[in-house]
């Protein structure tokens, strides 16, 4: 599946950084903001947001923090105006990087991004410079269990475009973004652990690098993820 051989790398990065509570909370907040922006702030009508809130509560995040993230995403924070921007650029070895940003200060954000990319040997590109390499997809990751056959059958019945089940402990389902919430609603009826649900930008053609060069890209992505303004980061690294 294009773009999702990276699942193991994502899990490895998460395992390395999520040990720090503050970093974990930052990621959970970003997941809530992304879900609320994509499907609205009503958790009853937005299963992706419902899942993000559950993950936050499972990690003892206060409801005030959760509501603040939802208000940020839906524009209900008083006195603060956020704008959504997509920045595009390149990392070392010409790896394409696409960043979804939500900021109340465009100048601060672009300055920080440019500096982080520059220090890693990359650069910020013009609008459209790498965006054409990516396609929007709905992605659901499910922990493997005794219900794997049911999960795969249900996903196929609901029109999933691709199903990756060769990984050790997770099934990754790729679907049309417009079908994401309906598929997630159906999966929630099964006795399974849904790990991730979101709309992502998936690279149509991936670039394969050496382990050393791939690690340099992963470290750059981690540094970019430390920026609270950056909600999501996508690359074409295989």
Sheet strand arrangement including 162-164: 162-164, 170-175, 134-143, 194-203
Share of the chain above pLDDT 70, in %: 91
Query: pLDDT tens digits, residue range 116-128?
Result: 999 999 999 999 9
How far apart CA 168 and CA 38 sit, in angstroms, is 30
Over 90: is that where the pLDDT of 151 sits? yes
Asked if 15 and 27 touch (Cβ cutoff 8 Å), the reply is: no
pLDDT interval class at 166 (50, 70, 90) = confident
Contacts of 23 (CB under 8 A, 6+ apart): 17
Asked if 203 and 6 touch (Cβ cutoff 8 Å), the reply is: no
The pLDDT value given to residue 79: 84
The pLDDT value given to residue 20: 56
Over 90: is that where the pLDDT of 57 sits? yes
Query: pLDDT tens digits, residue range 61-116?
Result: 999 999 999 999 999 988 888 999 999 999 999 999 999 999 999 999 999 999 99
Provide mean pLDDT across the span 134-162. Answer: 94
pLDDT interval class at 23 (50, 70, 90) = confident
Q: What are phi and psi of 15, to 5 degrees?
A: -60, -35
The pLDDT value given to residue 4: 53
The pLDDT value given to residue 9: 53
Tokens of 91: 């990392």
CA end-to-end span of the chain, whole Å? 11
Q: Which domains does the chain have, with CATH numbers?
A: 7-74 (1.10.10.200), 83-132+204-235 (3.30.70.980), 134-203 (3.30.70.980)
Over 50: is that where the pLDDT of 188 sits? yes
pLDDT interval class at 55 (50, 70, 90) = very high
User: The tokens 């992706």 sit on which residue?
Assistant: 48
Tokens of 75: 């524009």
Asked if 89 and 125 touch (Cβ cutoff 8 Å), the reply is: yes
Which is nearest to 195 in space by CA: 219, 220, 171, 176?
A: 171
Tell me what the pLDDT averaged over the chain comes to: 90
pTM (predicted TM-score): 0.83
Over 50: is that where the pLDDT of 17 sits? no
């Amino acid at each position: 599946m294009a773009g999702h051989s990276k699942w193991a790398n994502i899990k490895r990065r998460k395992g390395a950084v999520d040990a720090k509570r503050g970093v974990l909370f930052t990621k959970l907040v970003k997941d809530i903001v992304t879900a609320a922006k994509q499907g609205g702030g009503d958790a009853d009508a937005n299963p992706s947001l419902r899942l993000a809130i559950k993950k936050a509560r499972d990690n003892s995040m206060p409801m005030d923090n959760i509501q603040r993230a939802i208000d940020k995403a839906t524009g209900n924070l008083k006195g603060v105006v956020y704008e959504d921007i997509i920045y595009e650029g390149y990392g070392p070895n010409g790896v394409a990087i696409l960043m979804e940003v939500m900021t109340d200060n465009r100048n601060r954000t672009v300055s920080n991004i440019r500096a982080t990319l520059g220090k890693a040997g990359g650069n910020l590109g013009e609008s459209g410079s790498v965006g054409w390499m990516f396609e929007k997809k709905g992605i659901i990751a499910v922990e493997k269990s005794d219900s794997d056959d049911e999960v795969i059958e249900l996903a196929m019945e609901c029109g999933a475009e691709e199903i990756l089940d060769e990984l050790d402990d997770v099934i990754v389902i790729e679907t049309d973004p417009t079908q994401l919430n309906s598929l997630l609603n159906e999966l929630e009826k099964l006795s399974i652990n849904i790990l991730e649900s979101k709309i992502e930008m998936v690279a149509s053609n991936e670039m394969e690098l050496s382990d050393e060069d791939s690690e340099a890209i992963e470290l750059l992505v981690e540094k970019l993820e430390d920026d609270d303004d950056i909600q999501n980061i996508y690359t074409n690294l295989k």
